[in-house]
Each structure stands twice: as C-alpha cells, then as structure tokens.
Chain A
C-alpha cells in the first residue's frame, strides 16, 4: 500500500527539482560561463584579472558592510533581549512593529533618509543649530555638519534598512531558550552579569549568526543605498556590477565581479556557520 504513495510523493518533487536545476543551478553556471569567456565566447581569464582594478571597491564594500552589521548587532541585541522578557501580547505587537517598516518599499525608505540627511534637511538643520549655538556661546570653531553623500550616511542607510533582519532572528532564538537554564544559573549563584555572559549570550549565538548573514549579505551587495546616500564618493561593488549590466553593457566583466562577490560571500557564510552548530535555519 505504501509503495504507491511513496512513488507518488517522490514524483511530486520532480517539478520543483527540474525548476531548481533550470533556474537556480543553470543561472549560476551562466555567471561562471560569462565570467570566463570574452564577447566571442572564447575562454579567457582577462575578466578575472581586470577585477584587480576593483580591489579597493571590494575592500570598501566589505568594510562598510561589516561596520553596518556590527552596529546592527549592537543595537539589536538589547532590544531582542528586552522583547524576549515581555508578555506574549506585547511580544506579538512589537514583532509586528519591527516587521512593518520592512514591508515598506525599500527604495522609498532610503529616499526618505535623503530628505532627513540633506544639507537643508531636518537633521542637518537641527544639528547645525546646535553647532552654531556652541560656536557663539563658547567661541568654538566647529564647522557646520554635513551628512549626505558621506560614507557615514551609507552606513546609516544600511543599518536602517536591515536592522529588523538582525533583531528578529536573535529574538526568535532567545524565545526558544529554555528559561530554566537561566534560573539554574541564578540558583547556582551567578549574578545577573554572569548569567547574561555565560548563559544568555552563548545560547543566542545561532540567532546572532543568522542575523549577521542576513544583514551582511545585502549590505555588501547593495547599490541603491550607496547611490542615494553616498553620492559619487562612495562607490560599492554593487554599483559597479549594476553599471556593467544596465549601462556599460559589459556582461562579462559584470559576471566575473558577481562571481567573485558570490564566492567571497559564501566563504564568509561558511566561516560564520562554523561558529554555530545549528544549521543556520532560523527563519522569521
């Protein structure tokens, strides 16, 4: 009796397997194919050796991406901890409030930061008002604040856009943490700090790892945030890839840049996953 059903269920997987092969595996092979050929379809390593020119861009992207990820972690961890202590009603409404901005169009959210950080925008005006007052009152010579088109603005944009991806996985893991472990640690004489350092943090590592990848990957590969908030001074690897495909029409260089970016990110993910014995399967 079971033979028939198992055959059927096996066949049920076939459309997906074909789909995944065609539209996940083959496209990645296409990236490799374009990366290693020239416009006549002949094998070449020129595209890859051209990447040397963009080493600085790669380094800047990784640096800003890491910075944004670490800031996200520092901001998100206490909030996730606070949330996990609350009652179920409050938890679900807070989760909703954190997810809500994510469903807003990401382009418009980023654009809105342009309004805030502009030279005559809200935040800059407020900060310059303070700076002026300090200068007047104390005779200091602080220069006026300039926020837009700086690297800092790009990092703010990254943190803003991807912060929920850090909060939610950490919070989910903390919720699943066995309360009795914390209690046991307290019973054994640990003070609050001890318990936090030796029980809460180690147990939340899978959430941290998952949040880290979910923030780091889109930050490193972004192009819109850097275009809008970074001006011409902050060109990231995503910007260069986008240019190759949308305006410069150099698919081969674009493909080789994407290829290297992909490999770099998979290496980062592999390293990150070594820190957690979980398979990183925390889904929000």
Chain B
C-alpha cells in the first residue's frame, strides 16, 4: 500500500513539474538583467520598468480589459435570459436544436470560428463599400459569441437544481412573474451566473485566435500584441508581463476559492438546519 502511495505522489509531482517548468522559466527570466531569455545574467527589475514604459503594450492591455468587461457583461445578461428561456421551452426538438447551435462555437476549431466571423464582417463591409470594418465592435461581437455558450452551460444546471415550485409559490403569494424571477429564481441561480461571468471574462482576456482574425489595427488586444512581439526575438519584458498576469490570476483564483468554500459551508449549514 505504501509503495503505491509513493508511486502516485512521484507521478503527480512529475506531471506538475511538466506543467509548471515553463512558467518557472518565464518568471525567472523576467528578472534577468540581460536581454537574453535563455542565459541568466543577474537579478534586476529592469524589464518591469521597461514594461511600464511601453505605451503600445499598456494600450493593448487597456483594450483587452475594455473588450473583456463589455463582452462578458453582455454575454452574461444575454446568456442568463437565454438559459431561463431555453429551460422553459416545452418543444423538445426546438430545445435540442438551440442547444446544438449553442455548442457549435465550443466544438468548432477556434480558427474556423475566427475565420467565419471575419468573412461575415468583411462581406458586410463590402456590401456597404467600406474597408476596414474590423475594429472594436467586431471584436466585442465575436467575444460575446464565443462566451455565450459558457454562460448558458453554467446557468442551465443551476436552473435544473432550482425547485420550480419556488417561483410558483412566490407568484401564489402575490409576486408578478417578473418579481418572482428577480426575487426567487435569480438568487438561486446566482452562483452559476457568477461562474459564467468569470469564465467569460477570463476567456475573453485570454483569447488570441479568434481576436486575431476579427480585430483591426486600432483594436489590438494584449494577446495580439504579444503575438506581434513574439514574431521577433522576445525580450524579457513580455516575461515580466506574464509574471504579473500569473500573480493576478493566482490571487483571483485563491479569493474565488475562499468565497466559494464559504458559500459551500453556508449551504451545508442551511441544508443541515433545514433537514429533509
């Protein structure tokens, strides 16, 4: 028994080594005083300073944030209403065809999604005799589109878990259907909405392939900026950037884990108290 535990520990350690070695390399070389990303010459914060002086990268970061915030809010609102509607549909065929369409952006290779939207925008532009239709608007439309399925698939299970009698009870007690939705259903599915929102936001910040095809020169996001930087020889300021992103995500994940752990505790207390 002891032997297998050791084996499994070793195996786990090896896989995590594989997963984290490149990230460790990134972090270590972000502190390199030299220009190289393979020979460590000494510790310095030079590249962090350089990063904050790089206007193009900062603009790209700002663009990424704008696109992520706007698109994830639109996707969350539209996706949540869509999920409640889909949940209520009685017609099985209609329901399953909507779900099939919803799954397309997740199943389709990202490059095909990106290319297909680019063709649509270029085509619409050519109808109106305009070139350069690609920009912020197309970028946000594309992001909303690929975020929507994730929001819907996060909200739907929560709706299924919610007792449908609760909304009915609220209406019997004098709520209008809208009130019943906002006062009873919405709080019940909130965890799903929030995880959908967070997923949409992170997917948007991280997306490169789709953005690469639908963004214009004025709407470069951070991943596109990184792409154009990595075409040349990369200097460690990109590594400094990714170190900062890594830290930000680490903090975000820890905080959200603590929040959800607290929520679980509350929930388990409630269910224990309520009995069955």
Contacts and interface: CB of A to CB of B under 8 A. Distances in A.
Interface of A: 1, 4-6, 8-17, 19-20, 23-28, 30-31, 33-34, 75, 78-79, 82, 92, 94, 96-101, 103-109, 111-113, 115-116, 118, 120-122, 160, 163-164, 213, 217-218, 220-221, 223-224, 228, 238, 241-242, 245-246, 251, 254-255, 258, 261-262, 265-266, 269, 281, 283
9 contacts: A16-B78, A17-B98, A27-B119, A28-B104, A79-B11, A82-B12, A94-B12, A104-B245, A224-B227
B190 interface: no
Nearest to B208: A107
Given A160-B18, A163-B19, A223-B111, A23 B117 contact: yes
Nearest to B26: A112
B111 A20 contact: no
Contact of B16 (A13, A20, A97, A283): A97
A31 B20 CA distance: 39
B117 A27 contact: yes
A76 to B, nearest CB: 8
Given A20-B101, A82-B8, A115-B38, 4 more contacts: A13-B98, A27-B116, A116-B25, A217-B107
B145 A24 contact: yes
B168 to A, nearest CB: 8
Interface string B114-133: 01111110110000000000
B56 interface: no
A79 B12 CA distance: 6
B22 to A, nearest CB: 4
What class of interface size applies to chain B in its complex with A?
A: 35 or more
B246 A31 contact: no
A106 B206 contact: yes
A84 to B, nearest CB: 11
Q: Name the prevailing secondary structure of the B interface residues.
A: helix
B116, B122, B253: which has the most chain A beta carbons within 10 Å?
A: B116
A24 B107 CA distance: 12
B82 interface: yes
B257 A107 contact: no
Interface string B47-90: 00000000000000000000000000000001101101110110
Contact of B109 (A24, A245, A246, A262): A262
Which secondary structure dominates chain A's binding surface?
A: helix
Interface of B: 8, 11-12, 15-16, 18-23, 25-26, 29, 37-39, 78-79, 81-82, 84-86, 88-89, 98, 101-102, 104-105, 107-113, 115-120, 122-123, 141-142, 144-145, 148, 152-154, 171, 177-178, 180, 202, 206, 208-209, 212-213, 222-223, 226-227, 230, 234, 238-239, 241-242, 245-246, 249-250, 253, 257, 261
A100 B16 CA distance: 11
B226 A105 contact: yes
B118 A245 contact: yes
Contact of A13 (B19, B82, B245): B82
B8 to A, nearest CB: 5
Contact of B88 (A1, A9, A104, A217): A9
A245 B119 CA distance: 10
A76 B241 CA distance: 30
Contacts of B242: 104-105, 108
Contact of A26 (B16, B89, B120): B120
B177 A5 contact: yes
B36 to A, nearest CB: 9
Contacts of A11: 85
A283 to B, nearest CB: 5
B38 to A, nearest CB: 5
A104 B118 contact: no
B234 A111 contact: yes
A103 B206 contact: yes
Contacts of A262: 108-109, 112
Contacts of A82: 8, 11-12
Contacts of B257: 92, 96
A104 B246 contact: yes
Given A111-B234, A217-B109, A12 B81 contact: yes
Nearest to B15: A79
A260 B250 CA distance: 40
A1 B120 contact: no
A115 B37 contact: yes
Given A79-B11, A224-B208, A98 B119 contact: no
B153 to A, nearest CB: 5
Contacts of B154: 283
